[in-house]
Amino acid sequence: MNSFLHLILFFVCIIGSTVYSVDRGNFKTCEQSNFCKRCRSLNKNQKSAFELVPDSVVLTDKYLEALITNTNFDDVSLRMRLDGLKDSTLRLRINKDGNQMFNRFQPVHALVSEPITEPMVMARNASTVELELSKIIKVYITIAPFKLDVYVNEELTIGVNHDNLMQFEHYRPKPESIADNEIGSWEEYFKEHQDSKPRGPSAVAMDFKLYSSSSLYGLPEHADSLALKGTSGNDPYRFYNLDVFEYELYNGMGLYGAVPFLMGHGKKNSVGVFWLNAAETWVDIAGVKGNTEHTSVVESIVNLVSGSSTDKDIPRAHFISECGIIDFFIMLGPKPLDVTRQYSSLTGTAPLPPLFSLAYHQCRWNYNDQKDVHDVETNFDVHDIPMDVMWLDIEYTDSKKYFTWDPVRFSEPLEMVNNLTSRGRKLVTIIDPHIKRDSNYFLHNDALNNDLYVKNKDGDVYEGWCWPGSSSYLDFMNPKVQEYYASRYSIDNFVGPTEDIFIWNDMNEPSVFNGPEVTMPKDCIHHGGYEHRDIHNIYGLLQVISTYDGLLKRSNGKKRPFILTRSHFAGTQRFAAVWTGDNAADWSHLKISLPMCLSLAISGISFCGADVGGFFNNPDKELLIRWYQTGAFLPFFRSHAHIDTKRREPWLFDEQTTFLIRDAIRMRYSLLPLWYSLFKNHELTGSPVIRPLFFEFPYEEQLNNIDNEFMVGDVLLVCPVLDQNVQELTCYFPGQEEIWYDRDTYQPIKTNGLMKIPAPINKVPVYQRGGTIVPTKQRVRRSSVLMKDDPYTLIVAIDLKAIAKGSLYIDDEESFEYRNGHFNYIEYEYINNQLISKCLHCEDFNTKSWVEKVMIVGIPNVFTKASIQVNGGSLSELTVLYNTHNQVLTVRKPAVGIAQNWTISLL
């Protein structure tokens, strides 16, 4: 083995085993990224070089089209197209007019379909073009310099190129001498790596001024506060999908995902900007009150009271991308939920996940062998802790060759899977995109023989280093690769698995241990002649799309796939769940998991979670307990740990720790009917499954910076313990006319604002909103599959008017038959001392579940009995119990089918 190979293997071992903090020097700053430095240096006070050509303006029945000139280059003409879209949305595209030296990439993969246009009305004069959309929206295009003003109900809402920072660098031959401002544009070095940049400078940029907003959100994935901070004096927020070990917190470094969606929110309305570009992108933020650390509710209110607004405080964003075209959407709300709906209509929503995926997952790098898997899952039963999914990391493979099994440690994979499924459980295995360069490996040979690999700048197969050592990378831009990769998931090709194995796509940024910034060189070449710099941020999405297609075909389109991905982009929600990557067993990483997942949720990716307990290092008992209590209320609920950490299965601690972890997991299982119904609503409407408080209470400005509390749907307020040695917690209870009921005691809280609450180690501060009805299942089972026919308990929490509403969605929990009408949808209403259940869709699906109990919370002690009427039939008397301490009336055993129409009347 030569010395270079020794060095690389040592480097791989270091990365895999002992290094637990990020080396910032391995990743670029804006100053080291030539195009970012160049575009950021533009002076917003200078005159813009871009002007509309007045005589070129044409309005068709679908869009407005015009030419834009660059006054610095007489021979450069750009074509602009502005579309008015359904649901108060605009789209603007700018590309080079006519032939180009190289095609510019457009990541249409992010869009669920071609957006539907709506007609606009045009008027114009010598200096301005005016467009009207849907009567309430007006767009004014200034001809020279080119800029847009967007008005909603006669109020300026958002301005485009108001700071004159638009840029569109055109491809051109390399000049004999390079101007000072373009040094690094034709060749660039970072550490020992050269980026040849054979196509020269091609950056695009645009600035947005959000006049109606006071705070900005979104731009995931970054380990930062929910409300975006000003970047003056610091690096912009970076979008460049990277493998970052134990990332630093509260900065804008690029991480594993890139969702270039920005939301502005103000007291009057909310707006959104979606920058559709898959290249490296930096986003400067200005005009917002920045936080240098996590914002507590107390700090948020202090900032609000002390702050004063001037013109310079108007929030603004400056998007800078290395290449591609200018292509952005403006969503005009007016409320936060409207903006997410509008954005979701563009990029899609998550299809309803199989129910097991919303339950608890157990993972580590790595479970040693089949016996280890069996022992762990069996111990969950021994200790009476529910668990749905066992996970296998890279060591299950034969020498890191994916779609294979270790012939000794996992010699009988089918037996292992069948043992799990016999107990109602599933298995997830990891499949990474790097392919081991081994002449005895079928996949490597197939890729070489069929030209399936990414090429280097010289046209040869690119070779990098990852877990297997020498590796090459499938080119998912190639339709042949997509088809081939999907076929590998068939039961005939992936020997051993059944339809009960699901997939984890990791390391798909892509991670290259010896590459620049631990990823693939930008001058590598993909199918279609695109450079890697053009498509980098969608590489992981392209892998996930092929995986999804493979799992779909594996069951002939019958079963819903479940995939977890680390790399993500806009639109990933249509195919996979996401987690926050290689976090650490530290209170700060527990705390940051909330704003990270909330930012993803409001940006379309609701199915998010963080590794419970932290991936690196060893949590103490208190941190582990608090992490389980918090993780139980995030959509993706998985424990995971690094190969060098101590084993941390729940029963390996003292009796109290095991008890409290069991209690948190059981709480999650009891609420699975709520989680499932919320995900169905997300699929239909785009509403985030978890959401910041300001989403539900948009006019309450005190909520704008709160990211240590969140809502589950519009039903539960979660105020988790995120700090060490906490016995008392200050929570903010939103809403002027709201009642919040403690989920443990059902005691009412009618405070609007800050309130101290007890938070001992056995307390999970969660509150049900008055006016809601939560369906639960209270029986303890080993997995969600075994709960399918269990009875329901309905928790009716009445509001100040003694009214409550809720709903329940039921189907077979695993197939796509619900899209053929095979489901139950039930609405509940409590009014005038009656609980009314109406099954609005019940014809094509049968369920054995029934109503075991109804708990009416917050009701005075004036009722001594109840009756039930089923399907308009005769009345039957029911037994009721009343608890004077917490004002809960319990109706026991109505014993009515959950999908029947019935009315319970209190007497």
Residues in Cβ contact with 729 at an 8 Å cutoff, skipping those fewer than 6 apart: 719, 721, 756, 757, 758, 759, 765
How high is the pLDDT of residue 40? 95
**pLDDT tens figures, 58-100:** 999 889 999 999 998 878 899 999 999 999 999 999 999 988 8
How high is the pLDDT of residue 47? 82
Instruction: Tell which wins on pLDDT, 16 or 786.
Output: 786
7 pLDDT more than 80: no
> Would you state the structure tokens that stand for residue 190, as one six-digit string?
């970072």
> Would you state the structure tokens that stand for residue 867, as one six-digit string?
């009756």
13 pLDDT more than 60: no
Contact criterion met (CB below 8 Å) for 840 and 862? no
Confidence of residue 740 (pLDDT cuts 50, 70, 90): very high
Confidence of residue 302 (pLDDT cuts 50, 70, 90): very low
> What's the distance, CA 152 to chain centroid?
29
Confidence of residue 136 (pLDDT cuts 50, 70, 90): very high
Instruction: Tell which wins on pLDDT, 18 or 343.
Output: 343
Confidence of residue 45 (pLDDT cuts 50, 70, 90): confident
Q: How many CB atoms lie within 10 A of CB 192?
A: 7
Residue 47 DSSP class = P
How high is the pLDDT of residue 5? 34
**pLDDT tens figures, 390-444:** 999 999 999 999 999 999 999 999 999 999 999 999 999 999 999 999 999 999 9
Return mean pLDDT, the chain.
94
> Would you state the structure tokens that stand for residue 739, as one six-digit string?
């009642």
Contact criterion met (CB below 8 Å) for 64 and 81? yes
775 pLDDT more than 50: yes
16 pLDDT more than 90: no
pTM of the entire structure? Answer: 0.95
How high is the pLDDT of residue 310? 55
How high is the pLDDT of residue 289? 78
Confidence of residue 311 (pLDDT cuts 50, 70, 90): low
Percentage of the residues of the chain whose pLDDT score is greater than 70:
95
Segment among 10-14, 186-190, 661-665, 882-886 with least mean pLDDT: 10-14
> Would you state the structure tokens that stand for residue 345, as one six-digit string?
């209509």
AA identity, residue 603? S
Angle at 442 between CA 447 and CA 10, to 5 degrees: 85
**pLDDT tens figures, 560-600:** 999 999 999 999 999 999 999 999 999 999 999 999 999 99
Contact criterion met (CB below 8 Å) for 197 and 534? no
Q: What's the alpha-carbon Rg for the chain, to the nearest Å?
A: 28
* Residues of the chain by 3-state class (helix, strand, coil), percent to 5: 25, 30, 45
AA identity, residue 163? D
Residues in Cβ contact with 465 at an 8 Å cutoff, skipping those fewer than 6 apart: 8, 11, 12, 471, 512, 513, 514
297 pLDDT more than 80: no
| Separation of alpha carbons 167 and 178, rounded Å | 19
Residue 109 DSSP class = G
CA distance to 156, 270, 273, 333, 507, per residue, from 152 (Å): 7, 11, 15, 10, 43
CA-based nearest residue to 298, from 288, 286, 310, 306: 306
| Separation of alpha carbons 439 and 467, rounded Å | 17
**pLDDT tens figures, 531-547:** 999 999 999 999 999 99
> Would you state the structure tokens that stand for residue 283, as one six-digit string?
């986003």
Instruction: Tell which wins on pLDDT, 304 or 107.
Output: 107
Segment among 143-157, 180-194, 580-594, 744-758 with least mean pLDDT: 180-194
Residues in Cβ contact with 260 at an 8 Å cutoff, skipping those fewer than 6 apart: 219, 239, 274, 275, 276, 277, 281, 283, 319, 570
Q: How many CB atoms lie within 10 A of CB 336?
A: 26
CA-based nearest residue to 426, from 491, 369, 361: 361
| Separation of alpha carbons 855 and 320, rounded Å | 54
DSSP assignment of 780-797 equals --SSGGGGTT--EEEEEE
Contact criterion met (CB below 8 Å) for 710 and 693? yes
Confidence of residue 792 (pLDDT cuts 50, 70, 90): very high
292 pLDDT more than 90: no
How high is the pLDDT of residue 181? 76
Contact criterion met (CB below 8 Å) for 109 and 538? yes
Number of helices and strands in the chain (H, E): 15, 52
> Would you state the structure tokens that stand for residue 592, as one six-digit string?
């940051």
DSSP assignment of 593-644 equals HHHHHHHHHHTT---EE--BT-SBS---HHHHHHHHHHHTTSSSEEE---TT
Percentage of the residues of the chain whose pLDDT score is greater than 90:
89
**pLDDT tens figures, 487-514:** 999 999 997 778 999 999 999 999 999 9
Q: What is the pLDDT averaged over residues 303-325?
A: 76
Instruction: Kindly provide the residue ranges of all beta strands, DSSP E only, lying in 351-401, ordered along the sequence.
Output: 360-362, 389-392
**pLDDT tens figures, 827-864:** 999 999 999 999 999 988 999 999 999 999 999 988 99
β-bridge mates for residue 151, sequence order: 138, 156
Give the CA-trace dihedral at 472, 367, 502, 615, to 10 degrees: -80
DSSP assignment of 288-352 equals S---SSPPPHHHHHHHHHH----GGGS-EEEEEESSS-EEEEEE--SSHHHHHHHHHHHH--PPP
CA distance to 51, 125, 129, 168, per residue, from 142 (Å): 8, 10, 7, 18
Residues noted as catalytic: 506, 582
Angle at 783 between CA 410 and CA 424, to 5 degrees: 50
Q: How many CB atoms lie within 10 A of CB 509?
A: 28
How high is the pLDDT of residue 73? 86
139 pLDDT more than 70: yes
